[in-house]
């Protein structure tokens, strides 16, 4: 199943009249893929995350799940069920008095058999390493643990896609790593497609496709390597190349064929091949 946004625009009413926050955005997220969205503050990333999750409806264009290759069927995105959204601040998403109840919260409306509900919450507790905290009040947890509870609450709904809107940006490096590793594991083991809205280069680098938003327009959609190679996209997206990338550009001054390396390992390999 592919999550497809087709020429989606989104308008808001302001005191100065209607303003278009997103303009004709196309996005195609393949089943089980990892993608990232980057762009300056106010470029429309969170709006796009909400549209892709079915929480907002575009002023024009379509957001749909598309199935099949020959005869395609498509349907609207059901928020939570098809696409789960995790926000930047876990405090805004935790609602119940214990971790276990919090994780089960979204399930309450699905009218599932009781055993199935218990099973799903149990699986999520194990998957995210939250078993020992199941009776804890969520507000007593650390930021990283809270974010894991928020992810667990999204996962029990068994969505095909997980959208993370700067979900690790308030965490310290170790908790960030932990949450990211968990997300990558969910992608590998359960085949959940991931869309990360992020400012963090390390999160961009694990994506197979990166979308660059600038002023509500998608100015780039390609592999990280290709996006970072396009000077105008880098500038419009306010992107900062990693150190190895900046060093590669300097090397290209002397050796024009030197590749754009985005990791220290790539850079070292390329440098060793110079003669
Ligand atoms: N309901 C609304 N009413 C008025 N303006 C809005 C509304 N929703 C979004 N905007 C405007 O749309 C633009 C994009 O907002 P959005 O939150 O999507 O940006 P963002 O890329 O997520 O920014 P950040 O990096 O700061 O999180 C901003 O200029 C914002 O003020
Ligand atoms: Mg945002």
For CA atoms 190, 194, 200, 206, the dihedral sign is: positive
Whether 162 and 268 share a structural domain: no
Q: Please tell me whether residues 140 and 260 are part of one structural domain.
A: no
pTM for the model stands at 0.92
> Is residue 61 domain-shared with residue 110, that is, in the same domain?
yes
Residue 129, phi then psi, degrees to nearest 5: 65, 35
Q: Which pLDDT score is estimated for 109?
A: 87
Are 49 and 163 in contact by the 8 Å Cβ rule? The answer is yes
Choosing from 46, 52, 87 the residue with most ligand 1 atoms within 8 A of its CB, the one to mutate for a pocket test is 46
What is the side-by-side order of every strand in the sheet holding 2-14?
A: 17-29, 2-14, 60-67, 73-76
The ligand 1 atom at the shortest distance from the C-alpha of residue 88 is 27
* Strand partners for 66: 2, 74
> Which domain range does residue 264 map to?
241-275
Q: What is the mean pLDDT of the chain?
A: 93
CA of residue 216 to ligand 1 center, whole Å: 9
What CATH code is carried by the domain that includes residue 137?
3.40.50.300
Helices 143-155, 114-127: inter-axial angle, 10-degree rounding: 140
The rounded distance, in Å, linking the Cα atoms of 213 and 62 is: 18
The pocket of ion ligand 2, defined by CB under 5 A, consists of 45-46
Report the atom number in ligand 1 closest to the C-alpha of 199.
25
Q: Are 261 and 160 within one domain? A: no
Q: Which residue has its alpha carbon closest to ligand 1 atom 7? A: 12
CA of 182 to the centre of ligand 2 (A): 22
Binding-site residues, ligand 1, Cβ < 6 A: 12, 14, 21, 39, 41-47
User: Both 141 and 57 in a single domain?
Assistant: yes
Residue stretches of the chain with pLDDT short of 50: none
Q: How far apart are the CA of 210 and the centre of ligand 1, in A? A: 20
pLDDT of residue 201: 82
Judgement on whether residues 48 and 115 belong to the same structural domain of the protein: yes
Same domain, residue pair 157 and 257 = no
Pocket test for ligand 1, best of 17, 20, 21 (most atoms within 8 A of CB): 21
Q: Which atom of ligand 1 is nearest to the CA of 47?
A: 18
The whole-number pLDDT of residue 170 equals: 84
User: For atom 30 of ligand 1, which residue has the closest CA?
Assistant: 42
pLDDT of residue 70: 66
Q: Is there a single domain that holds both residue 55 and residue 185?
A: yes
Pocket test for ligand 1, best of 22, 25, 43, 85 (most atoms within 8 A of CB): 43
Q: Are 193 and 252 in the same domain?
A: no
Verify that 219 and 274 share a domain, yes or no: no
As for how many domains the chain has, the answer is: 2
79 shares its domain with 24: yes
Is residue 22 located within the same domain as residue 110? yes
Q: Dump pLDDT digits (tens) for 23-67.
A: 999 999 999 999 999 999 999 999 999 999 999 999 999 999 999
Question: Which has the closest alpha carbon to 207: 191, 193, 186?
Answer: 193
């Amino acid at each position: 199943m592919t999550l497809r946004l087709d020429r989606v625009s989104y308008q808001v009413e302001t005191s100065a009249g209607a303003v278009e926050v997103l303009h004709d955005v196309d996005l195609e997220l393949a089943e089980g893929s990892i993608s990232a969205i980057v762009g300056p503050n106010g470029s429309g990333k969170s709006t796009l995350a909400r549209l892709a999750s079915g929480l907002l409806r575009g002023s024009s264009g379509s957001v749909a799940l598309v199935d099949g290759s020959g005869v395609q069927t498509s349907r609207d995105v059901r928020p939570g069920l098809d696409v789960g959204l995790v926000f930047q601040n876990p405090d805004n998403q935790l609602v119940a008095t214990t971790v276990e109840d919090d994780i089960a919260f979204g399930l309450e409306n699905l009218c599932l058999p009781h055993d199935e509900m218990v099973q799903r919450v149990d699986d999520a507790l194990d998957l995210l390493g939250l078993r020992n905290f199941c009776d804890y009040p969520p507000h007593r947890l650390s930021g990283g643990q809270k974010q894991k509870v928020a992810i667990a609450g999204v996962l029990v709904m068994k969505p095909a896609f997980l959208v993370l809107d700067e979900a690790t940006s308030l965490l310290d490096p170790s908790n960030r790593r932990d949450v990211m590793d968990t997300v990558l594991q969910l992608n590998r083991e359960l085949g959940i497609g991931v869309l990360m809205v992020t400012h963090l280069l390390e999160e961009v680098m694990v994506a197979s496709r990166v979308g660059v938003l600038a002023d509500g327009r998608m100015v780039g959609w390609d592999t990280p390597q290709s996006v970072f190679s396009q000077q105008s996209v880098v500038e419009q997206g306010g992107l900062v190349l990693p150190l190895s990338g900046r060093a590669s550009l300097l090397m290209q001054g002397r050796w024009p064929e030197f590749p754009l390396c985005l990791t220290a390992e790539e850079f070292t390999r390329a440098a060793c091949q110079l003669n």
